[in-house]
Homo-oligomer: A and B are copies of this chain.
Amino acid sequence: MNRIPPRTLSGFMELLPEQQRLFDRMLEILRETYSLYGFTALDTPVIEASEVLLAKGGGETEKQIYRFQRGDSDLSLRFDLTVPLAKYVAMHQGNLNFPFRRYQIGKVYRGERPQRGRFREFYQADIDIIGNEILSVANDAEMPAIISTAFLKMGLQHFKIRVNNRKLLTGFYETLQLSEKSTEIMRIVDKLEKIGRPQVESLLVEEGVDLELVDEILKFLHIQGSNEEVLEAMEEYRGVNETFDQGVDELRLVTQYLQEFGVSPSHFQIDLTIARGLDYYTGTVYETVMTQHPEIGSICSGGRYDNLAEYYTNKKLPGVGISIGLTRLFFVLQDQGYLSTETAPCDVLILPMIEQWDSAIATATALRQEGIRTQLYCEDKKFKQKIAYGDKLGVPFVVIIGEEEEESSQVTLKNMISGEQVRLSRQECVAKVLEECNKRGKIVPITEK
């Protein structure tokens, strides 16, 4: 037979079972956390009409999109989860209750040049709250609280959510009579951490900003300290520009409520340099860094926008959202050796050593009824090979049923970590395993060093 060498396309993540289990545990934690905050799951098609997906059009997106013809149809694969959300809300608005809180975790596609740690197919995990005409700023504070809860459940501890407000920035640039250039300025300033101050200075000058104003801008962006200190410093600028004042008020509220949502001050920080280089955002903006690895950039970003679906509907739909680039985050965690080693696909492996499997099957059924993940191993192998199989899987418990056990209606329970072995009745065995599994708890996928 003419065989085809099996391969996976470059830029497409395909994990081995052990890593997949940790990735899936992260997905599970996200689904649980998002649900806990009252978000409803959405699932939209991966393929959409190109005309719909590219309604906004523009730049990089269009170059990177997977687009193809099928029959008469011009089709594209989604490149984010925001455009499909806009389409969905515009299309189904009559059937939705606003504020509409949805989460979506799914694969998106961008034909980027393959590079280490860059993927063409990758998961995004998004939450958004969409209002009808208006939306309370309380929602802006809840977003980072949800992300913080999810990261902590995953085992990630060294992260910081940086918060800023675009109104504050827009207002500030207005006072410097730089409104027309403000979008471009924010785009440049957003790179501050990446390219450094001198480079930002020269880019601003290139953009036609007076040297004096460049100094003003950098002085402003240099304001640092505790959240309270930064807010205090902002008060010095108050009164000159209405938009600025509104931005400060919103930032203050978000800061206050964030604390009440239970987010530790070690996990969030006002940062005036954050602008998110998208003209899309209009108020609160977020970025999240792993504090031990700032070089990775933001692992979770988002913000407030005025109008989600203006390309599809004349209804005004303001919203606030945040998104985790999950595939890239996972790649980084793996790369840094930050992943748990607990990856067994089951809690118990049952090894019948006799040909009659009845007792083995009954034991498996009893364990599963208690929610214990159990695998039966009925292959015709030697005992050593059977135990080696359990070892390779990393399974914490093995149940052995040989002739002696069968005769005495018992089973042997072996703890694969301690090596301890006891003979028990089936019922005792189930109780013992259940107790131990409850002690162990669910997998925490991330273990930072």
Contact = CB atoms under 8 A, between A and B. Distances in A.
Interface of A: 1, 3-9, 12-17, 20-21, 23-24, 35-49, 51-52, 55, 66, 68-70, 73, 75, 86-88, 90-92, 95-97, 99-102, 107, 109, 111, 121, 131, 134-136, 138-139, 142, 149, 257, 260-262, 309-314, 345-346, 349, 357-358, 361-362, 364-365, 368, 371-380, 389, 392-393
B260 A38 contact: no
Contacts of A101: 345, 375
Contacts of A40: 17, 20-21, 345
Contacts of A92: 16
Nearest to A14: B44
Contacts of A37: 368, 373-375
B142 A3 contact: no
Copies in the complex: 2
B21 A41 contact: yes
Contacts of A135: 379
Contacts of A41: 17, 20-21, 24
Contacts of A309: 6
Nearest to A120: B47
The 7 closest A-B pairs by CB, nearest first: A38-B375, A68-B68, A138-B378, A38-B346, A40-B345, A12-B45, A4-B55
A375 to B, nearest CB: 3
Nearest to A93: B6
Nearest to A95: B16
A357 B138 contact: yes
Contact of A314 (B3, B75, B142): B3
Contacts of A73: 9
A17 to B, nearest CB: 4
B99 A358 contact: no
A38 B396 CA distance: 13
Contacts of A99: 377, 379
A311 B2 CA distance: 7
Contact of A365 (B5, B23, B261): B261
Given A21-B40, A111-B70, A314-B3, A47 B121 contact: yes
A38 B1 contact: no
A309 to B, nearest CB: 8
A356 to B, nearest CB: 10
Contacts of A358: 260
A149 B371 CA distance: 12
A42 B349 CA distance: 20
30 contacts: A4-B52, A4-B312, A6-B86, A6-B87, A6-B312, A7-B87, A7-B91, A8-B48, A8-B91, A9-B48, A14-B43, A14-B88, A17-B40, A17-B41, A17-B100, A24-B41, A35-B346, A35-B373, A38-B345, A47-B66, A68-B69, A99-B377, A101-B375, A131-B379, A134-B380, A135-B379, A138-B357, A138-B378, A142-B376, A257-B357
